[in-house]
Amino acid sequence: MTTLLVTHPACLDHQPGAGHPERPQRLQAIKQALSADEFAKLVHAEAPQATVEHTTLAHPESYFEALAKAAPEQGLVHLDGDTVMSPGSFKAALYAVGAGLLAVDQVMSGASHNAFCAIRPPGHHAERNRPMGFCLFSNIAIAACHARAVHGVERVAVIDFDVHHGNGTQDIFWSDSSLFYGSTHQMPLFPGTGAVSETGVGNICNAPLRAGDQGEQFKAAMRERIFPALMDFSPDLVLISAGFDAHQADPLGGLALVEDDFEWITLKLAEIAHKFAQGRMVSMLEGGYDLKALGDSVATHVSALIQAGE
């Protein structure tokens, strides 16, 4: 079986401005890291452009229209203090959504065992009606709803190990018992959500960590909270919000994970996917802002995906 790598050149055209951490060089660092010989077996695919019908799986049509209208013809538009649109941002966001759609299609059809989507802008902070935290569309929530709508998947789980809580995914999943969201993240930290008490309809499982926590605490949170809840949910498809800003070198977080921790979580989630979901797993890039740490962490993550598919 194969591991699929999905991206699109348009994702480089999202240009939030000088000094913004969510910069195009992030994808260039990933491309360089995945150019090593060990990744020659990856199957490469170019993401399609998502349509309004795709985005309305998770957002109202008025949200799509508002973002399309906000996109500038030149210069930058600030949607909030962190979230910026340039002339190429709206199209980049549609290709980011499209990457998840294609990855789900390929994994559900059996053409690929698992997949990694190297995309930007990220998505897990985009709520049903609000862009925020660098995010325009909720890429992974749309992918989850697509799996259900198109492939008849009954239970879709998203596991998020970004240093920031995925408030957008949680918002969209909140009242839907067929969708599961499990997250480890630093608290207190942007966006301020992700308390243990936030449980939706029993389908939300948050395991907050404290600044300075390392792999030991991260693994304990996964073992003691996230994995039991995920296995009780028994997913038919596992999606990963793969944020690598929990790395000890990242400038936007205070956790101290290293590459081995990302390998561990990838392989553990693969074991659960094998047990419940025929190994079907799709990972989508979220954060990660130190370029070397990002490249090294993605390489470790993708290597583990390849191993899981062999």
Cis bond before residue 16 (omega within 30° of 0) = no
Q: Which two tokens stand for residue 253?
A: 């977080």
CB 180 within 8 A of CB 174: no
Q: Rounded to an integer, what distance in angstroms lies between the CA atom of residue 210 and that of residue 185? A: 8
Quick one: which of 97, 110, 162 has its CA closest to 277? 110
Phi-psi region of 21 (alpha: psi -120 to 50; beta: other; left: phi over 0): alpha
Indicate the burial class of 65 (C-beta count within 10 angstroms; 0-12, 13-18, 19 or more): exposed
Q: Please list the active-site residues.
A: 125
Quick one: which of 116, 94, 120 has its CA closest to 22? 120
Q: The tokens 């608290």 sit on which residue?
A: 187
Q: Rounded to an integer, what distance in angstroms lies between the CA atom of residue 55 and that of residue 82? A: 22
Q: Rounded to an integer, what distance in angstroms lies between the CA atom of residue 98 and that of residue 106? A: 12
Q: Rounded to an integer, what distance in angstroms lies between the CA atom of residue 234 and that of residue 222? A: 16
Q: Rounded to an integer, what distance in angstroms lies between the CA atom of residue 47 and that of residue 95? A: 6
Q: Rounded to an integer, what distance in angstroms lies between the CA atom of residue 264 and that of residue 19? A: 32
Distance linking the first and last C-alpha atoms of the chain: 6
Quote the DSSP letter at residue 20.
-
